[in-house]
Amino acid sequence: MVSTYLPAHVDRSAIRPCIVDMRVPFIDINSEKQAVQQQRAHKSPFIVLEKDYFTVYNANGGPLKCDYISRNYITMMMRYYPKRPGMWCCFQVRNGLTFNPEPPAIYFIHEKSSDILIEDPSECNTVLIYYNEKDIARFAATTRAADGCCNHFFVVYEDGVEQCFDANNPQSSYTFPRTLKSAFLPVVRKGVDAIERFKDEDRLFEERQIFKRLPDGGFKLRDINGTDVHDGEGFSLVVKFDDDDEREFDTYALEIYEGELMARPILDTLFTCETIEGIMYLNYNGQYLHCPDDKDGSIVVSPELPERSDRLQINYDGADILLTRWDTSDFAIYEWVKASVGCIALHGNWYEQRLYGAVRLQLIKV
């Protein structure tokens, strides 16, 4: 972590606190010159605090005098991206001080909190206000009046729980788990309506019906037009995206890459189906797709018929296909490991499914 030095002439109580301080306390020194001398042999970034600004050393373009409104964000950027100019290009200069023009979100944390709030680089544009008595109405008024900060929402952190409030309507709030934090915070920055939207999405997700397996012989595989697919017919499984999903290519399809199921911008991978004793199996080059317990949810291929617990279940939601583990609610989701490669895996964890969403496929006959 980046070292932060506090010279003797600077009043500690006058320094606006940051979440990053919960993990790394200030280092007391006599003067800024002493800090520079101590760090002379090192190339790691460090910070020296002053009354009205702080100075960043050993960072791109440094030393830089910076505005306290962005101390948490700049400190985290120094920790993760000290030598990457692209991560600093968004900064601007105002009154001679470098700052992040995107307003920080306000976090209210109890002054005796013993928790350490963990932040990722994408979620660290924050300022911290400690409190000794929880008063949501007062927090809302403080947020609305906070100069240079996000004025439409705030977050209260208590006992490991993060709850976001609408600053103009504090009765509207959303408690978000850590797994959804990186998805929720960027959206609520754009508009406070995200609070109610995420609550509605959670409710719908919790109330979704688990797909029930049809009796042996009762399932029919269909293409996107509703036409039956017979054993041995070749087809592609194309990933269906929402209109606002960001992706590098227009079309992605499933393929077997190094023995595992992936989503890539390649459309020449053909699958077939094979029905054995009333049960239909997906097949690739004479091998069966399945999800063994020892593969952490990965979908792989094998020349042998899978055991019952390792079978894939194909489910229809309208014309869309969703994959689950046999007779369970463990849905296949995708997570982009590269810009052009999506890793397909089965997850029973509610929050993982909620964050990434079930993979929706469309079957296209060749």
The domain that holds 270 is classified in CATH as 2.80.10.50
Say if residues 47 and 5 touch (Cβ distance below 8 Å): yes
Say if residues 262 and 201 touch (Cβ distance below 8 Å): no
State what percent of residues in the chain have pLDDT above 70: 88
Does pLDDT of 37 surpass 80? yes
Does pLDDT of 271 surpass 90? yes
265 vs 329: which has the higher pLDDT: 265
Burial class (CB in 10 A: 0-12, 13-18, 19+), 250: exposed
Highest averaged pLDDT of the listed ranges 21-25, 183-187, 339-343: 183-187
Per-residue pLDDT tens digits for 244-270? 566 667 788 999 988 899 998 887 889
- Residue 87, in any domain of the structure: yes
Q: Which of 157, 183, 204 delimits the end of a domain?
A: 204
Asked whether residue 40 falls in the same domain as residue 186, the answer is yes
Q: Which of 184, 204, 224 delimits the end of a domain?
A: 204
- Residue 223, in any domain of the structure: no
Asked whether residue 118 falls in the same domain as residue 16, the answer is yes
Asked whether residue 239 falls in the same domain as residue 182, the answer is no
Asked whether residue 64 falls in the same domain as residue 200, the answer is yes
> What pLDDT does 241 receive?
79
pLDDT band at 175 (very low <50, low <70, confident <90, very high): very high
Asked whether residue 53 falls in the same domain as residue 178, the answer is yes
- Residue 327, in any domain of the structure: yes
Asked whether residue 149 falls in the same domain as residue 276, the answer is no
> What pLDDT does 245 receive?
60
Q: Which of 152, 187, 204 delimits the end of a domain?
A: 204
Asked whether residue 296 falls in the same domain as residue 356, the answer is yes
Domain span holding position 77: 3-204
- Residue 220, in any domain of the structure: no
Per-residue pLDDT tens digits for 337-356? 665 788 888 887 666 677 67
310 vs 119: which has the higher pLDDT: 310
Instruction: List the structure tokens of 129.
Output: 């206000």
Q: Which of 191-200, 207-216, 234-243 has the lowest mean pLDDT?
A: 207-216
Asked whether residue 190 falls in the same domain as residue 265, the answer is no
Number of domains in the chain: 2
Does pLDDT of 106 surpass 80? yes
- Residue 343, in any domain of the structure: yes
- Residue 314, in any domain of the structure: yes
Asked whether residue 97 falls in the same domain as residue 36, the answer is yes
